[in-house]
Chains A and B, each alone.
Chain A
Amino acid sequence: MKPKRTLITDRKPITDNEILRFKKPFSSLTNMVNNSHFTAGGKSFLSYGITGLAVVAVATIATYLLTTHQPETQKADIEQITTVEDSTKFYAQDNKSRKIEPPFGERIDYEIFKINNKKAHDIKTKNGSIIHIPANTFIDKDGNEVNKDIEIYYRDFYNPFDIYLAGIPMDYDSAGINYSFMSAGMFQIDAQSNGNQLYMKEGKAIDISLVSEKEEVYNFYEYDTISNQWVYLYREEEENLLPLTQNQAMEDYSYSFSQDEIQIDTTDITLHPQTDYTQNQLIRSFVGQRKMEVKEPESYVFSAIPEMYKNTEYYALDSLMLEIDSKEKFKPNYYHVRWDRVELAQEDTNLTLILQKGSTTSAFKVKPIINPLKYKKAIMAFNEEKKVQEIRKQERENRKKMQKNLQEKTTKFSMVRNIQVTRLGTFNCDFPVPQPQMARRGALRTYDQNHKKLITNEIYVCQPDANVSWIYAQPNPYQQYYLYSGNQQNVGWFITNTGKLAILFPETFKKTKGDSCLAVVYESEVGINMLSKLMN
């Protein structure tokens, strides 16, 4: 029987998280409806067309009148309706704001970089991220450029427990639904000079190549420390998300050989008499496009083009005359051959002319014919250049080592997110996810290893692999459970009423049954170390 349709079963399944990335804030939809940016179907196209034309005409006239006759304040109100920020307030509108408050004091160290504000800097962080700071980026509170050395404070976060320790809120609720931010990388950046807070100059931007484990596109948020809310800035562009190995910012630090390091190996040169000779070829066509003029053919003297002796100590000379030393092997008609390769190699003070045509290579000892004064100058210039080259070589070696270290340190990171910030503060690549769907329930009634009941107000349950955690609290009698995914590894923790740290290990989640669960209680220091290990 002929099938009526083909079921397509080989499409890659889409995950819930992927779907949520397409979810716009609901307020943006309501704004569209309220501002008549959208008209539902149902009527004929013609009726819409006529109505539409009328509306457009009225709107055009109204807009003209408004823009030409309304006071400035009213114009601002009209423009405000369509701002991106406005459409994203949904994420935070019902959020009970809370400040950044580390629960155990500052535990996550900042990396501090001292830089000169007058110069541009590329800073490499311990995790391998690169911060590009342009010159004259920072100003003081009075708007004056800072001429002194300044300190850049930077730290980044790649697991929910570090974020918890830093006291940065990652939760919000909207319309009674609990969400938490799933992070692809969060960082804080600050600048100070002699303990005074600095600010970024208007028009300046800091580019950050943030290493990340997540390969998907996320949103980019900034934490507003005045309203204590996350503020949506933009959705990442795919082209700003690159595999670590392909990222240009990283490649700038990669090591590459330069022409002046090419070594000429003369050890395997075989000497063959050259027979390829064409009378019509001029002497200046001695080798390919390279010009070589025979000065005294009988005495085997010729001038070398600078390209030939650029790798020798004579490189600083404008011109160089060479004389073939091994005359018995050299035939004058060699000047007429269009050689594939002509090179001058130097080993100690010995010079060798290498001529190659096809598979045949000939080598001849040559000696320079130069004015001793010029030679002295040339040698001095050569030694000078040699020093420069050695310094460059050392720099390249250092970069090579640094690159190797970077790669070793960033093995867990596969991607680089290229980000630009125009303010100092706390930034996060993330998107909101609801509590685990199809979840299991864990009891909030917890006991310690001695079967003593533990008292807490809130419990953190996180999925380390997904880099997300949720907070569950018990302000009302219905809230007897926390939720967790049976398919993911889960880790939980809370602070007891005695200030200790209670941990719900991954095994606890697998064994939890009934209305109570076992937490292991540690002194805060021990517990913090324990959880940090669990997260890494």
Chain B
Amino acid sequence: MKMNALFTQNEVEDSGIILNRKKSIEAEIGEIYDRHYIEIFRFVYSRVDDKETAADLVSTTFLKALKNADKFTSRHSGALKSWIFTIANNEVLLHFRKQKVQTKYYVEMEKIKQWSQEENFSDDMMALLIECMEQLPDQEYELIQWKYFDRLSFTDIASITGKTEESLRTALFRIRKKIGTQMITISKSRGLEILLALTILLIAF
């Protein structure tokens, strides 16, 4: 038996080699299930306590997507994926409403480190960054989490939040600015040596 693709499905799509598929939405959801299960699982798992709950919520997400497939109008597979992320997000919120507990946010230290490295932050600055993120309102923090930790596209986030991609870009710019200002304020109050570095970084951040 020969494997019939040397490109992954992602690569085929990314490189624009999209075959003229006339598949039902169900089949497309199936493809998203295959290709993005891990991504969606991580998205859900970053806000729930255990793996089993995450797995249940992801299953429910796809069940709802299948059940409501006829309500999805766009034929663009990217939009379908975003729609499924939206359902997943709603499932998480519903889960917390049912549990009557506050939303939790889990983030792997590695992901914070990765983002910090991309921003050229030192370890001290990374600690400040975490502190500042903890002070952001939920909606603002979620934008940071989705963009920098979950690595979602603006299209996906736009679908989840119901906002336009442009407004999200602007919002993210403002949040970054806000975090930078807060970092400077905190470092000033503590007389930290990284103040100068932060001031310079603020321009870039």
Q: Which positions in A face B, CB cutoff 8 Å?
A: 1-11, 13-14, 16, 18-20, 22-24, 26, 29-30, 32-33, 38-41, 95-98, 169, 171, 173-178, 434-435, 437, 439, 444, 457-458, 470-475, 478-483
Contact = CB atoms under 8 A, between A and B. Distances in A.
Given A4-B135, A22-B51, A11 B3 contact: no
Interface stretch (B35-43, B163-171, B194-202): B35-43
29 contacts: A2-B135, A5-B103, A5-B104, A5-B105, A18-B51, A19-B38, A19-B42, A22-B54, A22-B55, A26-B33, A30-B30, A32-B63, A33-B67, A40-B67, A96-B1, A96-B2, A97-B1, A173-B4, A175-B27, A177-B31, A470-B3, A472-B6, A473-B4, A473-B6, A475-B4, A478-B5, A478-B12, A479-B6, A482-B6
Contact of A3 (B51, B63, B94, B134): B134
B112 interface: yes
B37 A171 contact: no
Instruction: Place the interface of chain B in its size category.
Output: 35 or more
A332 B199 CA distance: 99
A10 B110 CA distance: 10
A26 B34 contact: yes
User: Which of B31, B34, B55, B68: most chain A Cβ within 10 A?
Assistant: B34
Nearest to A437: B38
Contacts of A97: 1
Given A5-B134, A33-B67, 15 more contacts: A4-B135, A4-B138, A5-B104, A5-B141, A7-B106, A8-B106, A9-B108, A9-B109, A23-B37, A169-B1, A175-B31, A176-B4, A176-B31, A177-B34, A178-B5
B162 interface: no
A167 to B, nearest CB: 12
Contact of A11 (B1, B30, B66, B106): B106
B2 A95 contact: no
Nearest to A37: B63
B191 interface: no
B110 A483 contact: no
User: Which of B3, B9, B59, B130: most chain A Cβ within 10 A?
Assistant: B3
Contacts of B138: 4-5
B3 A178 contact: yes
Contact of A7 (B7, B54, B64, B105): B105
A29 B59 contact: yes
Nearest to A12: B108
Given A7-B107, A22-B51, A444 B134 contact: no
A3 B106 CA distance: 15
B107 to A, nearest CB: 5
B28 to A, nearest CB: 10
A395 to B, nearest CB: 47
A86 B194 CA distance: 62
Contact of A480 (B6, B42, B108): B6
Contacts of B1: 95-98, 169, 171, 471
B173 to A, nearest CB: 21
A40 B68 contact: yes
Contacts of B34: 26, 174-175, 177, 434
Given A11-B106, A39-B67, A3 B6 contact: no
A176 B3 contact: no
User: Which of A18, A41, A470: most chain B Cβ within 10 A?
Assistant: A41
Contact of B63 (A33, A444, A478): A33
Nearest to B94: A41
B66 A29 contact: yes
A9 B115 CA distance: 14
B108 A176 contact: no
A177 B45 contact: no
A176 B5 contact: yes
A175 B30 contact: yes
A6 B130 CA distance: 9
Nearest to B69: A33
Interface string B109-132: 110100000000000000000110
A109 to B, nearest CB: 26
Interface in B13-70: 17, 26-27, 30-31, 33-35, 37-38, 41-42, 45, 51-52, 54-55, 58-59, 62-64, 66-68
A279 B109 CA distance: 77
* 5 smallest beta-carbon distances between A and B, as pairs: A479-B6, A22-B55, A3-B134, A473-B2, A40-B67
Nearest to A97: B1
A478 B6 contact: yes
B50 to A, nearest CB: 10
Given A9-B107, A29-B63, A39-B67, A481 B6 contact: yes
Contacts of A481: 6-7
A476 to B, nearest CB: 8
Contacts of B107: 7-9
Given A22-B51, A22-B55, A26-B33, A171 B3 contact: yes
A177 B3 CA distance: 9
Contacts of A174: 34
Nearest to A99: B1
A472 B135 CA distance: 49
A240 B133 CA distance: 44
A524 B139 CA distance: 62
User: Which of A19, A38, A95, A480: most chain B Cβ within 10 A?
Assistant: A19
Contacts of A14: 42, 45, 51
A8 B104 contact: yes
Contacts of A480: 6
Contacts of A38: 63, 67
Contacts of B68: 40
Nearest to A8: B106
A219 to B, nearest CB: 15
A179 to B, nearest CB: 9
Nearest to B130: A7
A32 B64 CA distance: 11
B3 A29 contact: no
Nearest to B27: A175
B76 to A, nearest CB: 18
B167 to A, nearest CB: 22
A61 B59 CA distance: 31
A435 B45 CA distance: 23
